[in-house]
Chain A
Amino acid sequence: MLEVFIFATLNGLVTGLLLFMLASGLTLIFSMMGVLNFAHASFYMLGAYVAYSISLYFGFWTGLIVAPLIVGLLGALIERYGLRRVHQSGHVAELVFTFGLAFLIEEAVQFFWGRDTKNYQTPDLLDFPLFTLFGQEFSAYRGFMMTISIGIFIALYYVLTKSRVGIIIQAAITHPQTVANLGHNVPLIFMGVFGVGTALAGLAGVIAGPVLTTFPGMATVLGSIVFVIVVIGGLGSLAGAFIASLMIGLLQSYAIASDVGMPDLLNLLGISFARDHPLNDLWTINLPQIAPVLPFLLLVLVLIFRPTGLLGKREE
């Protein structure tokens, strides 16, 4: 049982930290623009595919560095020539724009790379077990994923709270007019944040592609969950997104690892139902089966009891 618990924790942390890389960019963009970027997970997918293509010619490590840059640049260009124009027409237009963008990117990826699963592999350098515990290997690559994510969190946190750029960004979030009056180029800051946000999503794609497989559905699988994290963590809160990511990663991992379900609960209560009971599906449901729904359940609970999210400050 202990081994399952330890590995469930590790798995949860890996997933949680990966989700954080996506959520951090999304939450930053939200706090600036006031609009959820529906295309965020599509940049994640784009990152994986671009890195895959680069890795075919120049190896994994070049892809790791170049792919997020390309995705970030693309994101910045989209902000500059797309979102900024749409911005004048209000939030709804922006929302619809990012929504359409998500479809566009997904179709474009399928158009250029095809619809089959891509053979994107972990680099040979990291192709060894980091440690073996109770007969199960924990691959070095997963350790690498965790390190990168934690590094990103620390770097982002430092930049946003300690550096001059971070202070200007934070000021631009709440008081854009004042910051502009002080002589800062607010649109440029917005563009930069959008670029960095999408680059982070791209980076998440680059490092997730080899382990979670690179296929056309990869954005859809992660897309909704990232929004859940941003809302639970509190819109615009980096620390909140971090906590929510880990929470959801661990929650899902523990739920899958557990073997309890309705039958156990009913046994405890001393109730039993026949197998042909009309609600048999309900009486036999177990926790692993509903694990993927749990984040959404949590979302509903948070929205009911703490509409601002865990660390959200805004009251709209």
Chain B
Amino acid sequence: MRNFQALIVISQPIRKLLTTLSLVCTLSLGSLSIAQEPVRIAFMDPLSGTFASIGNTGLKILQFSADYYYNSRGGILGGRMIEIVPLDNKQSPNETQLQFRRAVSDDIQIIFQGNSSAVANTLNQTISRHNRRNPGQEVLQINYSAVDPILTEDNCSFWHFRFDAHANMKLNILTDYIAADPDIKSMYIIGQDYSFGQVVSDTSIELLKQKRPDIEIVGNEFHPIGQVKDFTPYVTKIVSSGADAVITGNFGADMVSLARSIIDSGLDIPIYTFYAAYDGITATLGEGGKNRIRLIHNGVANPLPSEERKQFNRDFKAENPNFDVTQPRILNALQMVVTAIEQTQSTDPYDIAVALEDMRFTTIGGEEIWMRGDDHQIFQSLSISVHTDEDIEFDADNSGWGLRTEYQVPKEDTIVESSCQMRPPRR
């Protein structure tokens, strides 16, 4: 014991010496590495909890895209690497505020976020306020998946860019598709009780009324998000309503449980969805969902449009055998942001934002996509794909099952008006 104390006493001056040494080291290294300082991008999505699987897959795609296209080829801006910083917001608006503070204190100026429109709305407001109060330290919101239209309409912001088609655009195409099916005479709408679920319900009803006034809406149900144990009671209502088809905006466990309950009840009607694929959902639905479950999504599923796109999928799978390229729009978003950075030779969010406005960019799928400057909404082709095991080159969940595109609408036909009145900040 006494020896031990002596050691501590002796070590005092040594420690001082060490600290000085390490300080010198850091300083010298610091001055060396200024030129090589990475461009840091935050990925803020649920990485734990009920919806963790979606967030983790997105993170894998973003990380892989950054490494694959930039870091492995010497970085951007003449040698700076892209560093992806995962921030777990547990899909809660409160956590999002906390994680945003963390991002700001870490000097991160670009935030990728996608899951839950409620979270995206919070982040949008938080960022707008922050940017107004802290000129010179602005933050850019890259929304790759939250599809509540309000983000590019009434609540649109100069600092927010959306790389997915919003719910109304998707529903417009989806209802066209449904309206063309004369067998559908009645429709049941069920969704999670929050902003996006409400938008899906309101818009579907409105659009179906215009396009097919004879389709009767026999049910319009909301259930709490992530809380329902068993969807069978809801399915009982769907069965007794006699609906010919179901529309749902559910995602994650809520989606798979709902589809499964419908399949288990023996109800053989089409289910139109936004998110019924990947992250275990495709494998779990398997045979029961064949030719019954359809998704509206941007880009194309099988067959993939170009060799480069196919190669990207193969290389991603080689590195992440248990994940799929579920959201290629994450890559599109990253590539467009990097293009903006390279064009302006700046990582300042204002410069990036200005360069992104009205950018036309050709994806690795060979399609030219357009970021509208008026409301910061992306436009690209939209597809309706079916859950099947036939002609699937790239399956989901390594299950042999996947999505095959049945119906595709070019970008020009997806353009909708926006009520956005954006006020760009003064510079």
Contact = CB atoms under 8 A, between A and B. Distances in A.
Interface string B34-49: 0000000000000011
A312 to B, nearest CB: 25
A118 B279 CA distance: 9
B229 interface: yes
Contacts of B78: none
B279 A117 contact: yes
Interface in A204-231: 211-213, 215-218, 220-222, 225
A3 B257 CA distance: 22
Contact of B256 (A117, A216, A220, A289): A117
The listed residue with most B CB atoms (<10 A of its CB), out of A3, A121, A132, A256, is: A256
B264 A211 contact: yes
A11 interface: yes
A119 B399 contact: yes
A118 B399 CA distance: 12
A253 B229 contact: no
Contacts of A12: 233
B227 interface: yes
B284 interface: yes
Contacts of B240: 3-4, 7, 134, 136
Contacts of B51: 217
A237 B257 CA distance: 32
B284 A213 contact: yes
B221 interface: yes
Contact of A119 (B50, B56, B235, B283): B283
B316 to A, nearest CB: 16
B403 interface: no
Contacts of A129: 266
A139 B56 CA distance: 34
B102 to A, nearest CB: 21
Given A117-B284, A118-B284, A215-B253, A136 B266 contact: yes
A24 B35 CA distance: 64
A261 to B, nearest CB: 11
B28 to A, nearest CB: 39
Contact of A8 (B227, B236, B252, B280): B236
Interface residues of A, number: 45
A214 to B, nearest CB: 9
Interface in A171-223: 211-213, 215-218, 220-222
B270 interface: no
Contacts of A315: none
B294 interface: no
A213 B236 contact: no
A288 B284 contact: no
A119 B236 contact: no
Contact of A211 (B57, B260, B281, B399): B260
A55 interface: no
B418 interface: no
A232 B193 CA distance: 28
A11 B233 contact: yes
Contact of A256 (B50, B234, B252): B234
B229 A222 contact: yes
B75 interface: no
A213 B263 CA distance: 13
B223 A212 contact: no
Nearest to A216: B52
A284 B234 CA distance: 19
Contact of B52 (A8, A115, A135, A137): A115
A151 interface: no
A304 to B, nearest CB: 24
Interface string B225-269: 011111011111101100000000000110011001000111100
Given A129-B266, A137-B265, A216-B49, A221 B229 contact: yes
Interface in B302-343: 322
Contact of A217 (B226, B233, B284, B322): B226
B232 A14 contact: yes
A37 interface: no
A116 interface: yes
Interface string A279-300: 0000000001100100000000
Contacts of A221: 50, 226-229
Contact of A135 (B239, B253, B322): B239
B253 A137 contact: no
A217 B221 contact: no
A15 interface: yes
Given A215-B253, A257-B236, A288-B221, A117 B281 contact: yes
B373 interface: no
Interface in A257-294: 257, 288-289, 292
Contacts of B50: 215-217, 220-221
B49, B56, B226, B230 interface centre (most CB from chain A within 10 Å): B230
Interface centre among A12, A115, A134, A292 (most CB of B within 10 A): A115
A114 interface: yes
Contacts of A256: 223, 233-234, 237
Given A7-B236, A257-B236, A118 B229 contact: no
Given A289-B222, A292-B224, A137 B264 contact: yes
Contacts of B239: 7, 134-136
A252 interface: yes
A134 B239 CA distance: 9
Interface in B377-400: 397, 399
Interface in A39-76: none
Interface in B19-70: 48-53, 56-57
Nearest to A137: B266
B226 A119 contact: no
**Max chain B C-beta neighbours (<10 A), residue from A107, A213, A221, A288:** A213
6 contacts: A14-B232, A116-B397, A215-B252, A215-B280, A216-B53, A221-B50
Interface of A: 3-4, 7-8, 11-12, 14-15, 107, 110, 114-121, 129, 132, 134-137, 139, 141-142, 211-213, 215-218, 220-222, 225, 252-253, 256-257, 288-289, 292
Interface of B: 48-53, 56-57, 193, 221-224, 226-230, 232-237, 239-240, 252-253, 256-257, 260, 264-267, 279-281, 283-284, 286, 322, 397, 399
Given A7-B236, A107-B48, A212-B230, 15 more contacts: A11-B236, A15-B230, A117-B283, A119-B283, A119-B284, A119-B397, A136-B235, A215-B53, A216-B52, A217-B50, A217-B51, A218-B253, A221-B226, A257-B237, A289-B222
